[in-house]
Amino acid sequence: MATLDEIRTEILETAGLASDDARFPDATLTRIVNRALRNISAEHDWPWNQKSVVESTYLDLLSFDYTGGPVEDEWNKIAHGLTLNDVIQFTSKGTGADEFTTGVDYFVAGTVTADAFQLSATRGGDVLEGTADSLGVWVGQRKTISLRADEAKTLRLQYENRDLEEYQPQDAARYSELEGPPRGYYIEEDKIHLIPTPTTTTTITHVYSAYETALSADSDTPALPDRYIDWLVSMCLVQVATRIRDMDLYSVVDRERRRWTKIAADEQRRTSGTLKIKARSDWYI
């Protein structure tokens, strides 16, 4: 794989610039490379940026400590996977913790650690306080899945090898009280809401297009396959030519950039069907 250092060298050599050109120190070239990678990523949901993770909605072995722990009024569950503002419901309950019950939406709030969390009755509301620890078996289900930190676009959710239907938030409200295997989802802010609410262990395959990770170290490599490095270099050279006001160079590299864009689109079309490129007029901005 081509490293960041090799890509920077290729840019300077192709532009006919000295390796110590004061206009293009490593930091500037790195910004140019990362900007070009973002532009490439924005054109299409390229397969090299796609990721897939398996999400479980099931929350078992839940226990509530109303006092005496590092944080009061917290629920404990090893590696629960929840994040702030996730929505859960209890589907079965033991005793104690009388402030909580089944069939009610609760929002993850307050202090959230890898193995513990707090709950609120409303999104962003105050933490619900208890008066006793929980006893017996408490089981819950997640109604939401958090978007991943590197997620640019949700491509699909699958349950039992079947794609779930995507709804708009305003259209999904009619299904909010239903329970059962998920048939669809909607996205609101940074949460994916499953509909209906799962009542049993449910495993969802979450496929998304990720942002290109910014390169910083000399040895960093882009997700972009090596066969497209010339495409990346041409995208960078468009920016270089604009900076040094070399319109002859700009004309050559912009033509090369367009050629590589078509090559990449044609290759992906042959392997995955119809492909739409998002045209932009500000490649070098």
- pLDDT tens-digit profile of 74-105? 999 999 999 999 999 998 999 999 999 998 99
128 and 155 housed in the same domain: no
The pLDDT assigned to 165 comes to: 94
Using CA atoms, how far apart are residues 280 and 103, in angstroms rounded to an integer? 48
255 within some domain = yes
**pLDDT level of residue 23 (50, 70, 90 thresholds):** very high
Q: How confident is the model at residue 281 (pLDDT cuts 50, 70, 90)?
A: very low
**Domain termination site, one of 142, 172, 197:** 142
| Residue at 285 is within a domain | no
User: What confidence category does residue 67 fall into, taking pLDDT thresholds of 50, 70 and 90?
Assistant: confident
Residue 89's pLDDT is 92
Residue ranges with strand state E in 196-246: 203-210
pLDDT of 155 > 80? The answer is yes
Residue 62 reports pLDDT greater than 50: yes
Residue 81 lies in a domain: yes
Q: What span, in angstroms and rounded, lies between the C-alpha atoms of 191 and 87?
A: 9
Domain end point (choices 160, 177, 210): 210
Distance CA 111, CA 83 (A): 10
Spatial distance between the Cα atoms of 259 and 235, rounded to a whole number of angstroms: 11
> Rounded distance, CA 24 to CA 9, Å?
11
* Among 142, 170, 187, residue at a domain's last position: 142
Instruction: Identify whether residues 232 and 188 lie together within a single domain.
Output: no
If asked whether residues 261 and 246 sit together in one domain, one would say: yes
Residues 119, 112 contacting (CB under 8 angstroms) = no
Asked if residue 198 lies in contact with residue 141, where contact means CB atoms within 8 angstroms, the answer is yes
26 with 81, same domain?
A: no
**Is residue 278 in some structural domain?**
no
281 occurs within a structural domain = no
Domain assignment present for 280:
no
* Joined tokens for residue 211: 């942002």
**One-letter amino acid of 170:** Q
Query: Could you tell me the CATH number of the domain that includes residue 129?
Result: 2.40.30
Torsion over CA of 191, 196, 197 and 203, rounded to 10 degrees?
A: -80
Q: Domain residues for 17?
A: 4-49+216-272
Q: Is residue 191 part of a domain?
A: yes
Domains in the chain: how many in total?
A: 3
Q: Which residues contact 255 (CB under 8 A, 6 or more apart)?
A: none
Residue 216 above 60 pLDDT? yes
pLDDT of residue 173: 72
Half-sphere exposure of 105 toward its Cβ, with a 13 Å CA cutoff? 16
Are 230 and 201 found together in one domain? no
- Assess contact for 163 and 155: CB atoms under 8 A: no
pLDDT at 278: 46
**pLDDT value, residue 180:** 84
**pLDDT value for 175:** 74
pLDDT above 80: residue 148: yes
Burial class (CB in 10 A: 0-12, 13-18, 19+), 247: exposed
Residues 73 and 121 in one domain: yes
Separation of alpha carbons 210 and 243, rounded Å: 29
Same domain for 166 and 92 = no
- Choose the weakest-confidence range: 18-32, 134-148, 175-189, 243-257: 175-189
169 and 189 assigned to the same domain: yes
Confidence of residue 279 (pLDDT cuts 50, 70, 90): very low
**Residue 179 included in any domain:** yes
Same domain for 180 and 229, yes or no, is no
Give the pLDDT score at 273: 56
pLDDT over threshold 80, residue 24: yes
Do 190 and 233 share a structural domain?
A: no
- Structure-block tokens of residue 214: 């910014």
Query: Are 137 and 88 contained in the same domain?
Result: yes
One domain, residues 119 and 70: yes
pLDDT at position 285 is 32
Residue 282 pLDDT level (bands cut at 50, 70, 90) = very low
Please give the model's pTM, rounded to 2 decimal places: 0.76
